[in-house]
Structures are given as structure tokens and as C-alpha cells.
Amino acid sequence: MLAIGRALMTNPSVLLMDEPSEGLAPQIVREVGEVLEQLKSQIAILLVEQNLGLAMKVADDVVLLNTGRVVFAGSGADFRQQQAQLQSHLGIT
């Protein structure tokens, strides 16, 4: 949360985040998700995240990479509809 606050002090138009949930307790991840949900209406957020729940809470558009290749690019709604077909790329069995 401190890092997010520090990044926002400069009033950016884009917030770049790389794995913001890494190493955080589940409750803190939920809080980060709530903050990002509020922020997404004010600034653009580019989020690289392995926590699918957090990513989908924030994402309007999704690009899914697998071994450096784009396997999906589209809206969050389209991604949710195709999630079953994308399970192998998501590591879900």
C-alpha cells in the first residue's frame, strides 16, 4: 500500500504494477484489489499479475501470455467467457 501511495503522489496518468500481490497475505491482497478498483476510474493501470482474482477485479482488457506468446487478447468479459478454454494456459487443471 505504501508503494501505491508513493506512486500516486506524482499524480500519474498511468500506474504500472508488476505482481503487486506477491508475498502479501490474502486480506492485504483484497485491500489492494479494492484500492485498484477505485483507482481504475481515475487513471490507467497496467497490471502484470499471476493472481487471477485480483487481475480480473481490475482488468477492463486482458492480454494472457504463455511462454512469451499472446494466447488471448480481448475484453475482461470475453476472457471470462473463454476462461474454461484457457485453463491450460492459466495452470488450472
pLDDT at 69: 93
Find the domain containing 71 and state its range: 60-93
Q: How many domains does the chain have?
A: 2
Candidates 82, 86, 64, 81; CA nearest to 73 is 64
Q: What is the pLDDT of residues 20-29, one digit of tens each?
A: 999 999 999 9
**Does the pLDDT value for residue 61 go beyond 90?**
yes
Residues 2 and 19 in one domain: yes
Q: Assess whether 16 and 52 both reside in one domain.
A: yes
Instruction: Please give the mean pLDDT across all residues of the chain.
Output: 90
End-to-end CA distance of the chain: 32
Q: Which run of H or E residues covers position 9?
A: none
